[in-house]
Structure 1
Amino acid sequence: MSVKAVCDYLRECQADIVRTYEELHELAEPSWQEEKTSQYLAQRLQAAGLTVRTYPGHFGLTVDIPGEEEGVVALRADMDALVQEVDGVVRPNHSCGHDGHSTMVLYAALAFAAAGIRPKKTVRFLFQPAEEKVGGALQMMKDGALEGVEMLFGVHVRPVMELANGTAAPAILHGASASIHGTISGLQAHASRPERGKNVIETASMLVQSLQNIRLEAGCPFSVKMTQLAAGGDTSNVIPDRATFKLDVRAQTNEGMEELQEKLKHTMQHVGSLMGTPIEWSIPGAVPAATFNERAAGMMREAISLVLGEENIAGPCVSPGGEDFHFYTYHNPGLAGTMLGLGCGLAPGLHHPDMSFDTKALVAGAQILATSVLMAASGKEV
Structure 2
Amino acid sequence: MNYTTIIDQNRDIILQTYEDLHQLAEPSWKEEQTSLYLRKRLLEAGLEVRTFEGHFGFIAEIKGESNKVVALRADMDALMQEVDGVVKANHSCGHDAHSTLVLHTALTLAKLEKPKHTYRFIFQPAEEKAEGALQMMKEGALNNVKFLGGVHLRPKIEIPYGVASPVILHGSTATLRGTITGTPAHAARPEEGINPIEVASLLIQAVQQVRVRNSKRYSIKITELHSGEASNLIPETARFTFDLRADSNEAMDELIGKGQHTIESIAQVTGATISYNLGEFSPAAIENQEAMKLAQKAIVATLGEENFVPTLVSPGAEDFHFYTLKNPNIVATLIGLGCDLTPGLHHPKMTFNKEALIYGTKILTSLMLEADQKTWS
TM-score range, shorter chain: over 0.9
Q: Please tell me the residue identity of whatever aligns with 2:238.
A: A
- Displacement of 1:53 after TM fit? 1.1
Larger CA deviation: 313-322 vs 96-105: 313-322
Equivalent residue letter for 1:134:
A
> 258, 276, 283: which is aligned to 2:271?
276
Contact 1:173-1:289 within 8 A present in 2 as well: yes
SS of equivalent to 1:173: strand
Length-normalised TM-score, structure 1: 0.96
Could you tell me which amino acid in structure 1 is paired with residue 52 of structure 2?
Y
Matched residue type, 1:97: G
Question: 2:279 & 2:167 partners in 1: Cα distance?
Answer: 28
Select 2:339's aligned residue among 338, 344, 356: 344
Residue 38 of structure 1 corresponds to 35
**Could you tell me which residue of structure 2 aligns to residue 359 of structure 1?**
354
* Map of 1:167 onto structure 2: 163
Does the 8 Å CA contact 2:215/2:246 hold for their aligned counterparts?
no
Instruction: Write out per-residue CA displacement over residues 196-231 of structure 1, whole angstroms, 9 at most, x where no aligned residue.
Output: 111111111111111111111122311112111111
Residues 380 and 167 of structure 1, relative CA distance in 2, 3 Å threshold:
farther
Distance in 2 separating the partners of 1:280 and 1:75: 40
**Is the aligned partner of 1:99 residue 2:96?**
yes
For the 8 Å contact 2:14–2:357, the answer to whether it is kept is: yes
Corresponding residue to 1:68 among 65, 70, 86 = 65
CA distance in 2, matches of 1:220, 1:366: 35
User: Which AA in structure 2 matches 1:327?
Assistant: F
Partner in structure 1 of residue 240 of structure 2: 245
Match of 2:325 among 330, 353, 357: 330
- For 1:16-95, what aligned pairs fall within 5 Å after superposition? 16-95=13-92
Aligned-pair distance for 1:244? Answer: 0.8
CA distance in 1: counterparts of 2:50 and 2:261, whole angstroms: 47
Question: Within 1, Cα distance between the matches of 2:241 and 2:5?
Answer: 49
Gaps of 5+ in 1: none
Secondary structure at the counterpart of residue 334 of structure 1: coil
Contact 1:121 1:379 in 2 (8 A): no
Structure 2 residue aligned with 1:133 = 129
Where in structure 1 do 4 or more consecutive aligned residues deviate above 6 Å? Answer: none
Match of 1:124 in 2: 120
Question: What is the alpha-carbon distance in structure 1 between the residues aligned to residue 262 and residue 59 of structure 2?
Answer: 45
Alpha-carbon distance in 2 for matches of 1:46, 1:64: 10
Q: Write the distance in 1 (CA, Å) between the matches of 2:358 and 2:281.
A: 33
Contact conserved, 1:6 with 1:370, CA < 8 A, in 2?
Answer: yes
- Separation in 2, partners of 1:11, 1:209: 57
The residue that corresponds to 2:311 in the other structure is 316
Contact 1:220 1:253 in 2 (8 A): no
Please provide the CA RMSD for this pair.
1.1
The answer to whether the 8 Å contact 1:120/1:379 transfers is: no
Shift of 1:345: 0.4
Report how far residue 380 of structure 1 moved. Answer: 6.6
The amino acid that maps onto 1:15 is D
Structure 2: which 5+ runs fail to align? none
Identity of counterpart residues, as a percentage?
A: 52
- Aligned match for 1:262, one of 242, 257, 260: 257
**Map of 1:142 onto structure 2:** 138
Q: How many residues align?
A: 376
* Paired AA for residue 222 in structure 2: M
Match of 1:196 among 177, 192, 200: 192
CA distance in 1, matches of 2:106, 2:240: 44
Question: Partner of 1:177 in structure 2?
Answer: 173
- Larger CA deviation: 212-221 vs 345-354: 212-221
